[in-house]
Structure 1
Amino acid sequence: MSNGIGIVGAGMIGAAHAFGYRNHLSKFASRLPGLNLTAVADPNATLARQLAQSFGFSRTVSDWREVVSDPEIGVISVALPNFLHVDAVEAALAAGKHVLCEKPLALSASQARRLYEQGKSSSVCAATVFNYRRIPAVTEIRNMISAGELGEIVNILVQFQCEYAADPQLPHSWRYERNRAGPGALLDIGTHAIDTARFLCGEVSEVAGAVSTISIKERFLAACSTVGHNRVELSSERRPVDNDDVMSALLRFDSGAQGLFSTSRVAIGMGNTLSFEVFGTKATARFSTQSINQYQIARFDGSGQTPFATVFNRPSSPNVGSMLPVPFDGVAVGYAEVFGFMIHDFLNAIAEGRPISDGTLLDGLRAAEVLDAIQASADNGGPVTVERSPV
């Protein structure tokens, strides 16, 4: 198979993929001979050209299908709007391409199941972007939980809070239409929080209850083309918003632990923040991407006022010593670098001819099953069992 790399979707997240490939390309020169940045696909020619020029891709095309059918391309990143993920991944797998799909893998568990089954029967590497698993602090907390250092996990509070849709003058787009985006904040960013909860605490068995809110009930259409969350001139035409701005849920895990989950795209002051607190019988660990280079842990000491200690990145932290150019205590790790860790893991799995271990299509499916149950609970007002497909 050719080792050309193609990115389909030249928006803001396509740039994160491009940055990751460019930064890790040289590490695979001997293991994946000919690996190169080949093509960017986007119907917005200007956007595609800007991305290609910024990161060194050889050419641009207007249709993602041209990337899938290109014999020079063997590795594809899908960074399209949510409602196009399934079509693009199905086509890439059918064409025998290695494929890395943005979250959410699909709009529903039934769609995600189709992709999982197709990927299972394929010999290529297929993955879902769950880049927050690669944050050194998050991985280290997971390792401590697995080693029993926190004791039996009692409960987790997990949130993904964003401000990107708080401005009512932000134009209407596919993100605010349930038939194209699926659930709103729940699917678009809550996917990361649910995956993090699973990564730390195992499988979710039940959604005991959920509530949703649409706080901005309609938006103006843009008067011109727009990308991502950009603010542009608005037309006088309004469209309703029919998916959630805020979603919260009470979860039960297979282990017996419980969880409080909340996600919002209208959380003023929160920027783009994943945070969690995990409470065990021996210790509590907490983390926020607002302080991405550290986590805090309180180990029970019987005093009644157990203090938290702050643990910073250090060379022995997961990914730090092997992945950063400056692997010293306290050196900052940013979003783009963590995203690059995901790209590195993907390329490493391809080079070794094996499935990726973190961020599999099964992970994408399992997250989708929980998200479906949360949405169903919010719709019917009662508890919903998470229906997990056999594997």
Structure 2
Amino acid sequence: MKTFNIAIIGAGMIGAAHASGYRAHQARLASDQHQFVLHTVCDAREDAARELAKVWGFAHIASDWQAVIADPEIDIVSVTLPNFMHAEVATAALRAGKHVLCEKPLALTAAQAAEMTALAKASKGVSGSVFNYRRIPAVAMIKQLVENGEIGTLSHLLIQYQCGYAADPLLPHSWRYTESKAGGGALHDIGAHAIDIARFFCGDISEIVGAATDTLITHRYLPLAANAGHNHVALSDRSEKVDTDDISSCVMRFRNGCQGLFSASRVTVGMGNTLSFTLTGSRGTILFNSERPGELHIARAEREGGAFITLANQPSFPFLSDLIPVPHDGVAVGYAEGFGFMMAEFMQAVAEGKPWQKGAFSDGLAVAQVLEAIQLSSRERRPVAIAEFNQGENHV
């Protein structure tokens, strides 16, 4: 029997999401031929690694990521570190022949992402970039509805990702507020997900027609002690400049002729963590809001008199017939379950030795190119064609 030993490098908030997903589906995906083992959690903060390993059942902890990648017992590596470490750690894991699932953004720059994608294509392992919103059953069902022509030829997408985690000026300074470590602010942290979903439905983006990025809180105080996530801690009297965006918006065009309006904000009070969109076609419109992830709203010109109806979770939706304990109409599914569905797909691809298509490194590269194009368009106040970044063929 083949044993796939799993390591998570990075024991922060998103590392816990990976651990939860692996734990939820490791037994389900075991067979007479293979099994998945929760092997190691690695973090420079040993106490954080120990706590995550204890909660989710990993057998070992480590503090040196290079030693974990060099360990021949490790087969699968989840890279859940701050943005500036993604490229270095994921590249090392690929070169070591590991199966690699790397958090978004894939890299700080499109050029870095292109190098990683080329390496992933040459690697024998399975590789993927984390775009978990594709696995919300309602979102996956919308993809099917679009492909089946339920709303006709796509003409317009309004998509926004709004959060309030950075609205408080007393949130401490961290790597997220430094461009050299984060790549961007709201744009890279949450906007990457919205751009991926835009591509998921509408295909490749050809041009950023115009963009604006703004930083509303220009300085933040340094914390007195190490901090993770978006936690409030005791602050020093020293502050540092914030050079990443709090808000980013753009107008974009897709290769298929569809128009798009995009915005991402990390300073929208009251919005929590909300991805929402309105997708319009020649025969109908679809609405979705992640605050109610178990449903979508659709209006079709030839049905229900063009009025909106609500379609709630059903076993016929993707993932719901075989990956939830209770496959029944209306059963609620949240963020953790959708993330787990992604982990299940990744483990299945590893077991079968097949490329992971819905969120490949090439998708991470395409998103990186769009993010950089938005920054360039905002900085130079001009339209930017994605072709300026030598975009190659991508999977959607």
TM interval, short-chain normalised: over 0.9
By how many angstroms is 1:33 displaced? 2.8
| Per-residue deviation, residues 25-71 of structure 1 (Å, max 9, x unmatched) | 11232266352111111011111100000011111111211211111
Aligned residues: 390
Seen in structure 2, the aligned counterparts of structure 1 residues 302 and 141 have a Cα distance that, compared at 3 Å, is: closer
Q: Which runs of 5+ in 2 are unaligned?
A: none
By how many angstroms is 1:317 displaced? 0.8
Q: 1:389 maps to which residue?
A: 391
Secondary structure of the structure 2 residue equivalent to 1:215: coil
What code does the residue aligned with 2:247 have?
Answer: V
Seen in structure 2, the aligned counterparts of structure 1 residues 31 and 232 have a Cα distance that, compared at 3 Å, is: farther
Q: 2:319 maps to which residue?
A: 319
Secondary structure of the structure 1 residue equivalent to 2:8: strand
Between the aligned residues of both structures, percent identity stands at: 50
For residues 33 and 343 of structure 2, the distance between their equivalents in structure 1, rounded to whole angstroms, comes to 14
Q: 2:272 maps to which residue?
A: 271
| Per-residue deviation, residues 88-123 of structure 1 (Å, max 9, x unmatched) | 010000000000001111111101000100010111
| Per-residue deviation, residues 327-347 of structure 1 (Å, max 9, x unmatched) | 111111010110001100000
TM-score (norm: length of structure 1): 0.98
For residues 33 and 214 of structure 1, the distance between their equivalents in structure 2, rounded to whole angstroms, comes to 49
Secondary structure of the structure 1 residue equivalent to 2:233: coil
For residues 344 and 35 of structure 2, the distance between their equivalents in structure 1, rounded to whole angstroms, comes to 16
Say whether the 8 Å CA contact 1:82–1:181 is kept in structure 2: yes
Q: 2:286 maps to which residue?
A: 285
Seen in structure 2, the aligned counterparts of structure 1 residues 79 and 367 have a Cα distance that, compared at 3 Å, is: same
Write out aligned runs for 1:226-265 (5 A): 226-265=227-266
For residues 92 and 31 of structure 1, the distance between their equivalents in structure 2, rounded to whole angstroms, comes to 27
For residues 47 and 79 of structure 1, the distance between their equivalents in structure 2, rounded to whole angstroms, comes to 13
Say whether the 8 Å CA contact 2:298–2:310 is kept in structure 1: yes
Say whether the 8 Å CA contact 1:2–1:73 is kept in structure 2: no
Q: 1:144 maps to which residue?
A: 145
What code does the residue aligned with 2:364 have?
Answer: G
| Per-residue deviation, residues 275-311 of structure 1 (Å, max 9, x unmatched) | 11001010000101011000000111599x8321011
For residues 23 and 390 of structure 1, the distance between their equivalents in structure 2, rounded to whole angstroms, comes to 35
By how many angstroms is 1:268 displaced? 0.7
What code does the residue aligned with 1:183 have?
Answer: G
Seen in structure 2, the aligned counterparts of structure 1 residues 164 and 26 have a Cα distance that, compared at 3 Å, is: same
For residues 110 and 288 of structure 1, the distance between their equivalents in structure 2, rounded to whole angstroms, comes to 33
Q: 1:33 maps to which residue?
A: 34
By how many angstroms is 1:247 displaced? 0.1
What code does the residue aligned with 2:337 have?
Answer: E
- Aligned-pair Cα RMSD in Å: 1.3
Seen in structure 2, the aligned counterparts of structure 1 residues 31 and 216 have a Cα distance that, compared at 3 Å, is: farther
Say whether the 8 Å CA contact 2:29–2:35 is kept in structure 1: no
Say whether the 8 Å CA contact 2:29–2:344 is kept in structure 1: no
Write out aligned runs for 1:105-254 (5 A): 105-254=106-255
TM-score (norm: length of structure 2): 0.96
Q: 1:367 maps to which residue?
A: 367
Seen in structure 2, the aligned counterparts of structure 1 residues 270 and 181 have a Cα distance that, compared at 3 Å, is: same
For residues 15 and 69 of structure 1, the distance between their equivalents in structure 2, rounded to whole angstroms, comes to 23
Q: 1:65 maps to which residue?
A: 66
Q: 1:376 maps to which residue?
A: 376
What code does the residue aligned with 1:95 have?
Answer: A
Q: 2:306 maps to which residue?
A: 306
